[in-house]
A and B are shown apart, each in its own frame.
Chain A
């Protein structure tokens, strides 16, 4: 049940890619933080991260956690969404061998995992190559 509540609390980030931008120095946090670690400001504005970006780096998972064993091999990448801002997500719908650094990706709403066969389904964004 814990995972259900945690997932629900993270809907703004998982479902809508909402990030916090420091009103004082402009640093972007995803997920949001209460205090900016750069200027110590507590004032933030909510921004929506863009739906496309580029692969900064990636790794291919061949031995996966239980919930992901049917998906191997799959790639996890650091995706640059804004200049100087990146976040980590799965790179889906492609042959991992064909992923390259600098590749353009778009973000698509996908199932991330589920809490067993009968539990809640957790959704979020994955990166998908614009064209493989």
Chain B
């Protein structure tokens, strides 16, 4: 008999630094209002110089542990999905495991799949619990995204992390269904030793983001026999403000069902953290019985889709850790472009 598996703890982390679209646009002679309108995005988060994918993953994991009562030593796997792992060779997951006290009986791996690496960590962690191989699994999506100076990506590439602990008992949200849709579509990539990713401009839209997001959403609804009316919330990958709203509209989800997890206008695109962070914001606000559709998207390209159903226990733990919207909407520190460049190591110092 198939096991019922779900989220037993979740947590978010967003750095406090922000930079506004106007501040970036003025450096490159770009028209800020058109960028803001085109991307539906006003500002983005920026990591401090002492923050990276690992530090944010640890903070998100600690918040996830605050929302459950498990012994970290019983976590059987930690997977960190990111396209900005601090090391080219050396795992991020082992640092997270050591920091939360989950070593040494544990399996760690780092995942990469552009913006889908976080949902892929979630998918594998939950799958191992479902298979009965581990008691608890921790899946994390975290990124300090990079956008080349002056490129359209620079206006959106931001930083954040979301962590989810999966288990069989004391569920906050049951996973009712999963479905993944992928093809080989080269819409965005970064070659070895390159600082910044390249993208294929408009090719990243219809053939890539929309095709995979829509196919995964339709696929999971067909597989589960559900329709948009059966969901209270939907979270789609959010590389900018417009794309997830258009996917929702095409599928028949009203804006009200998307807004709760639609963080991108003031967060930017946290890449591997994007749809997972949206999910944390939804879980912060959801009520028992609510059903959530989450669809990630990663260039290259593919989408992972999940259907979650919230349990009675969710509302007992929502306030046990800092809420995602509190990270997003409070205590922001706005940077000028010079400080941002220094923080993001865009200034080359040749001694």
Contact = CB atoms under 8 A, between A and B. Distances in A.
The SS class assigned to the A binding surface is mixed
B18 to A, nearest CB: 13
Contacts of A92: 48, 50
B288 interface: no
Given A11-B98, A108-B59, A123 B48 contact: no
B342 A111 contact: no
Interface string A98-115: 000000000011111000
Contact of B50 (A15, A16, A110): A110
Contact of B54 (A16, A51, A123): A123
A132 interface: yes
A92 B49 CA distance: 10
Nearest to B66: A51
B98 A70 contact: no
B21 interface: no
B101 interface: yes
A15 B16 CA distance: 22
A12 B290 CA distance: 41
A121 B86 contact: yes
Category for how many chain B residues contact A:
20 to 34
B110 interface: no
Interface string B83-113: 0001100000001001111000000000000
Given A70-B342, A121-B86, A131-B331, A110 B51 contact: yes
Contact of A111 (B16, B52, B62, B330): B52
Nearest to A17: B99
Given A92-B48, A93-B48, A131-B331, A110 B98 contact: no
Contacts of A112: 50
B14 interface: no
A111 B331 contact: no
B101 A111 contact: no
Contacts of A51: 62
B185 interface: no
A108 B52 CA distance: 12
Contact of B331 (A11, A123, A132): A132
A16 B95 CA distance: 11
Nearest to A113: B50
Interface in A74-96: 92-93
B58 interface: yes
Interface of A: 11, 15-16, 51, 70-71, 92-93, 108-112, 121, 123, 126, 131-132
11 contacts: A11-B98, A15-B99, A51-B62, A70-B342, A109-B99, A111-B52, A111-B55, A112-B50, A121-B87, A132-B331, A132-B333
